[in-house]
Copies of this chain bind each other. A is one copy, B any other.
C-alpha cells in the first residue's frame, strides 16, 4: 500500500478514468478494479468512494442506474457526455502534473 497522502486529490481522476475505460460499473466493482490494476497498492475506502461518486453525479458527470440482483441492489455508474470530457481533462492534468514533479524532483519517470 502506498503512502496514502500521495493519493489525495487523485480519487476523482481515478474514478472518472476507470469508468471511461470499463464503462458501466458499480461502487464495489470500482474498488476491486482499482485494487487489481494497482496490484493491491491502491485500496479505495468506501468512506471516500461513495461520497465522491455522489458528488460527481451531482455535478452531472455521472449518471446512475439501479439494478436488482436477487434481493441485493446494485447502483451502476456511467459517464455522461460532460463526464467523458472531464475524464480526458483530468488525465491530461495528471500527466502534466507528473511531468512537472519530475522536473522539480529531478527524476526520470520511465
Please state the number of chain copies in the assembly. 2
Chain A binding surface, main DSSP class: helix
A93 on the interface (CB 8 Å rule)?
Answer: yes
Least Cβ distance of A26 to chain B in Å?
18
Judge if A91 is at the interface, Cβ distance under 8 Å: yes
A1-9, A52-60, A69-77: which one contacts chain B? Answer: A1-9
| A41-B96, A42-B100 known, 6 other contacts, Cβ within 8 Å | A7-B9, A14-B105, A34-B104, A38-B104, A91-B107, A95-B109
Q: Which residues of A contact B (CB under 8 A)?
A: 2-10, 13-14, 17-18, 21, 34, 37-39, 41-42, 91, 93-101, 103-107, 109-110
